[in-house]
Amino acid sequence: MNSELMEALTLLEREKKISRETILEAIRQSLIQACKNNWKTEAENVVVNIDPETCEYEVYAMKTVVEQVEDGLAQISLTNAKMMDSRYELGDVVRVDIKSKEFGRIATQNAKNVILQKIREEERRVLIGEYLEKEHDIMTGVVQRYFGKNVSINLGRADATLPPNEQMRGEVYRPNQRLKVYVLEVKDAPKGPKIQVSRTHPDLVKRLFEEEVTEVRDGTVEIKAIAREAGSRTKIAVWSNNPDVDPVGACVGLNGTRVNAVVDELHGEKIDIINWDENPALLIENALSPAKVITVLADPDERSAKVVVPDYQLSLAIGKEGQNARLAARLTGFKIDIKNETQARESGDLLEYEEDYYQEEYDDYGEDYSEDGTWPEDGGYPQDGIWPEAGAEPQEGTWPEAEADPQDGIWPEAGANPQEGTWPGAGAEPQDDTWPEDGTYPEAADDPQEGAPQDSSALEDGEE
């Protein structure tokens, strides 16, 4: 067994991460090349066999028996062949061992260079493959030095470049400082992989949360969108695939431990975590947090939205130098126009919202709701057995609301005892001293109870 070769292979495999098979193939090719250089011919008949278990090898040439030798590596004379075995005749192929120790100095040096070149190529290939797997991921590096405005960061087996436009504002990098970076790009270069990293990329925040938050790492909580101004503030929208898991709470952690770990790595950058919502209006409202919002009018087709906030919340919604509104727009993908309540009323935006709101309420009630907002239709009585909702404003010929005296034209409280001056049982006698018959106020959409008015003649004198 070739113990020295075995030891060298083990060392290269451990330190350079080059497989044993690759190095053995390099040795085989180097021996073939040495044979060609030694005999100065393009020998195609040289065979090298190496046992991968013991690293024992043999080199031989398959030579053709001829009368007169013209190529010493490819041919052998009949006389020499018969000295090896008397049965050989002209045209036979003889296996002749080659002693590599007999190679000249130049041939040996060339063989060595072939092995070293193959090892360097394989090392570079392995190195590039290793860092290509880390592309668009984060790695921990050590600051080496500044060269110009760029920063050299050692990532273990290779150095990366942190260009000025990928450096966080206000961050100072000191030699031997450890920090996490986002691998932007890995390129193959003659001297090894050329790696560019970033400290400003939004996905750096995402990867940091994946490291700190188990639910994000296993996919239970998804980070749907990120908007970032590196060194200042970041907003992330999260969504939970498990209804029992609160996505915001999972990212914040107990007493803020998880989010604080990310903030510390980003050297104090503020992070807002909000709930993702498929409804653009709700998403925009969440994105403007911590500001309170009165209403959001979103147009998904135009990707624009009008937002109304209380007067005292306008500056908070916009943020310092417009940062809060700017990040909310990036997070949601909507162009956001923010107005305070006073401005919205003057411009009619809030009126537009109120009209839309009441129109939606009207649409929900359907035909039983009158066009002017009364219940039931103006001048009518219960339609199709439907009772008015408690609290409806009394209109001419309509049901009054609860909790008021008849002098005001209002319906009495549900279940109240008949009192002097209160509304009588319209067309029906109260039971158990209560109104209506079962002592409860009828719910909207309940059928009128026995004794309740069905037409205008059932109302007693003095009622509206």
What tens digit of pLDDT does each residue of 225-268 get?
999 999 899 999 999 999 999 999 999 999 999 999 999 999 99
Mean pLDDT of 447-462: 38
Chain position carrying tokens 């205008």: 456
Burial class (CB in 10 A: 0-12, 13-18, 19+), 387: buried
**Cis peptide upstream of residue 164 (ω within 30 degrees of 0):** no
Q: What are the tens digits of pLDDT across the range 208-227? A: 999 999 999 999 999 999 99
User: CA-based angle 459:460:461, to the nearest 5?
Assistant: 125
Peptide linkage before 448 cis (omega within 30 of 0):
no
Q: How far apart are CA 307 and CA 373, in angstroms?
A: 26
The lowest-confidence range among 117-126, 225-234, 327-336, 428-437 is 428-437
Residue 142 burial (CB count, 10 A): 15
User: Each residue of 90-103: pLDDT tens digit?
Assistant: 888 888 877 766 66
**Please, what is the Cα angle at 90 between 89 and 91, to 5 degrees?**
110
Do you find a cis peptide bond into 202, omega within 30 degrees of 0? no
Buried b (16+ CB within 10 A) or exposed e, 283-310: bbbbbbbebebbbbbbeeeeeebbbbbe
Whether the per-residue pLDDT at 169 is higher than 50: the answer is yes
Residue 62 predicted with pLDDT over 70: yes
The total number of residues shown for the chain amounts to 464
Joined together, the tokens standing for residue 338 give 């923010």
List Cβ neighbours of 128 (8 Å cut-off, separation of 6 or more).
186, 188, 192, 193
Contact 141/155 with Cβ under 8 angstroms?
yes
**Which is more confidently placed, 100 or 135?**
135
Residue 238 has a pLDDT of 96
| Among candidate residues 267, 269, 179, the one with its CA nearest the CA of residue 227 | 269
Residue with tokens 């041939």: 107
What integer is the mean pLDDT of 163-168?
A: 93
> What's the rounded mean pLDDT across residues 313-340?
93
Measured over the CA atoms of residue 179, residue 180, residue 182 and residue 186, the dihedral's sign is: positive
Averaged pLDDT for residues 103-129: 79
The candidate with the shortest Cα–Cα distance to 155, out of 178, 173, 122, 175, is 178
Q: How far is CA 8 from CA 32, 115, 124, 449, in A?
A: 21, 13, 19, 99
Distance CA 237, CA 274 (A): 5
Q: Are strands 159-162 and 93-97 parallel, antiparallel or unpaired?
A: unpaired
**Strand bridging mode 138-147 / 150-154:** antiparallel
Task: Summarize pLDDT for 390-420 with one digit per residue, the tens.
Answer: 444 544 444 444 444 444 444 555 444 555 4
Whether 225 contacts 237, CB under 8 Å: yes
Q: Taking a C-beta distance cutoff of 8 angstroms, is the pair 222, 209 a contact? A: no
The model's pTM is 0.61
The rounded radius of gyration (Å) of the Cα atoms in the chain is 43
Instruction: Sort residue 107 into left (φ over 0), alpha (ψ -120 to 50) or beta.
Output: alpha
Residue in the structure block whose two tokens are 């898991």: 245
- pLDDT the model gives residue 18: 77
With H, G, I as helix, E, B as strand and everything else as coil, classify residue 273.
Answer: strand
Top-confidence residue, 109 or 322: 322
Specify whether the CB–CB gap between 401 and 389 falls below 8 A. no
Which residues is 64 bridged to in the sheet?
75, 93
Per the DSSP assignment, residues forming a β-bridge with 154 are 142, 159
